[in-house]
Amino acid sequence: SYHPATGAAPVPADTFAGLPVAEGIIQDIIIKNNDPGDLWAEECLQGMKRKMLVDMVFDLAYSGRAQVYDFDTNEPLSLKNLKKKEREPGFSREKIGKIQCIESWYLNPGKVTFTKKVSSFVIGYETYDSQGNFRGYLPVFRMVMNTR
């Protein structure tokens, strides 16, 4: 089940996936390049279907098929509060540029495979100062994955 302090849901050992080589680690992933001059970031993200990912995450949240939690309080986020978050000044789905995953890694030497399993993640949107300079990301919510 969900662990409120860390946001992690335990990921059971997966003998098919392989041997656990990392458990419950936090991985920050930039999913949108906010610097058009950064050609390396563009190359790294060329296969990213960011809009599809963001829309699917919100669809799962609004449908109730996935549980979402308030980042600050770790309390379940109601549909009313989710809608309120989408209306906050500065928020836009277009600005979602980071995902922070809690994941476990499995290495299967017999099959020569490496599997990553995400137990939960936080999506974050870009924030800027009054001069338009990038400041960082603000969390929208944490979504917990079904690990069964």
E-assigned strand segments in 32-112:
67-69, 96-108
- Band the pLDDT of 1: cuts 50, 70, 90: very low
Q: What integer pLDDT is reported at residue 148 of this predicted model?
A: 66
Q: What integer pLDDT is reported at residue 63 of this predicted model?
A: 96
Instruction: Count the Cβ atoms, other than its own, within 10 Å of residue 12.
Output: 10
Instruction: Tell me the per-residue pLDDT of 88-120, one tens digit each, with 9 for 90 and over.
Output: 999 999 999 999 999 999 999 999 999 999 999
Q: pTM here?
A: 0.86
Assess contact for 106 and 18: CB atoms under 8 A. yes
DSSP tag of 33 = -
Instruction: Tell me the per-residue pLDDT of 57-100, one tens digit each, with 9 for 90 and over.
Output: 999 999 999 999 999 999 999 999 999 999 999 999 999 999 99
Instruction: Tell me the per-residue pLDDT of 19-30, one tens digit each, with 9 for 90 and over.
Output: 999 999 999 999
Looking at residues 109-134, what average pLDDT do you find?
95
Looking at residues 119-127, what average pLDDT do you find?
97
Looking at residues 12-38, what average pLDDT do you find?
88
